């Protein structure tokens, strides 16, 4: 199983809503990532978890709150988002956070903030 | 930080044609990956290739680390090859952050 599963595939939310994005992998990977991608641009790193601990936060606004409940699951909690936060949110995983690892992506959540 | 340049930015082919995509990078790397993002947004890892040559079906990749470039070859292209191809590199001195190029948008027409 070389799959990273993300839910939901699409999400529309208002600026006052609270929602969560979910990501799951069963490859035994111990590093998990959240990326944000705007149309026609490459993915931008947001957060990295290594062995269920937050190891990188790329100065992401606090309205985005990551959580790693266990080694297979990664959540991204959303609250009071702005329209400019509309984007494709991608989860990824790798065996470890070592610099030589291969990255596997989920299919993403297309988020629209109204 | 490390700079990544991909060329061409856009490429339009007829089905059956061959193509070469290029990725130049500004510093030594110990990780280089090629990804294909299909029109539905799914990013597929094609190759992990910090040096040398690999082949997978109609696709192959070569990285010449000493000259700081990598090439992705697509032979006998099919409409399903359409999408954006990203090169991403990592220099271990910059931690675990992959740096992505801007991508090559490939369109294969029937």
- The neighbouring-strand residues paired with A19 are A78
B48 contacts in A (CB within 8 Å)?
102
> Which residue of B98, B99, B106 is the best one to mutate when testing the A interface, meaning the one whose CB has the most A CBs within 10 A?
B98
* The predicted structure's pLDDT at residue A89: 98
Rounded to the nearest angstrom, the minimum Cα separation between B44 and chain A is 7
The total domain count for chain A is 1
CATH assignment at residue A88: 2.60.40.10
Residue A29 scores a pLDDT above 70? yes
Q: pLDDT tens across A41-94, in order?
A: 999 999 999 999 999 999 999 999 999 999 999 999 999 999 999 999 999 999
Cβ within 8 Å, pair A108-B42? yes
Per-residue confidence (pLDDT) for residue B102, from 0 to 100: 98
Structural domain boundaries, residue B87? 4-109
**Any CB–CB contact under 8 A between B101 and chain A?**
yes
Tell me which chain A residues have a C-beta less than 8 angstroms from the C-beta of B45.
102-105
Position A1 pLDDT exceeds 70: no
Q: How many domains does chain B have?
A: 1
CATH value at residue B85: 2.60.40.10
- How far away is chain B from the Cα of A55, in angstroms, using its nearest Cα? 10
Instruction: Band the pLDDT of B33: cuts 50, 70, 90.
Output: very high
pLDDT digits (tens, 9 = 90+) for A13-28: 998 889 999 999 999 9
Q: What residue of B is the nearest CA neighbor of A110?
A: B41
Pick from A42, A55, A101: CB nearest B102: A42
pLDDT of A114 > 80? The answer is yes
Q: SS3 of B81, please?
A: helix
What is the DSSP annotation of chain A?
A: ---EEEE-SEEEE-TT-EEEEEEEE-S---EEEEEEE-TTS--EEEEEEETTEEEEE-S--TTEEEEEEETTEEEEEEES--GGG-EEEEEEEESSSSTTPPPEE---EEEEE-
User: Which residue, among B43, B45, B104, B107, would best test binding to A if mutated, counting the most A CBs under 10 Å from its CB?
Assistant: B43
Q: Apex CA B88: angle with CA B56 and CA B28, to 5°?
A: 105
For A90, the domain range is 4-113
Q: Nearest CB to A108: which of B41, B44, B98?
A: B41
Instruction: Determine whether the interchain pair A102/B48 forms a contact, defined as Cβ–Cβ distance below 8 Å.
Output: yes
């Amino acid at each position: 199983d070389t799959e990273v599963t993300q839910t939901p595939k699409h999400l529309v939310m208002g600026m006052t809503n609270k929602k969560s994005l979910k990501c799951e992998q069963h490859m035994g990977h111990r590093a998990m990532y959240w990326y944000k991608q705007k149309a026609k641009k490459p993915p931008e790193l947001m957060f990295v978890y290594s062995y269920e601990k937050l190891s990188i936060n790329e100065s992401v606004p606090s309205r985005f709150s990551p959580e790693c409940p266990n080694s297979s699951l990664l959540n991204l909690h959303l609250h009071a988002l702005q329209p400019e936060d509309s984007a494709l949110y991608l989860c990824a995983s790798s065996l470890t956070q070592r610099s030589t690892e291969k990255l596997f992506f989920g299919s993403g959540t297309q988020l629209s903030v109204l | 930080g490390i700079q990544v340049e991909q060329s061409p930015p856009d490429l339009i082919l007829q089905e059956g044609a061959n193509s070469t995509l290029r990725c130049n990078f500004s510093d030594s790397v110990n990780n280089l990956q090629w990804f294909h993002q299909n029109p539905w947004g799914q990013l597929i890892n094609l190759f992990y290739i910090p040096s040398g040559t690999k082949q997978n079906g109609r696709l192959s990749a070569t990285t010449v680390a000493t000259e700081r470039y990598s090439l992705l070859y697509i032979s006998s292209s099919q409409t399903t090859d359409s999408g954006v191809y990203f090169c991403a590199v990592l220099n271990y001195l910059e931690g675990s952050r992959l740096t992505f190029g801007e991508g090559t948008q490939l369109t294969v027409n029937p």
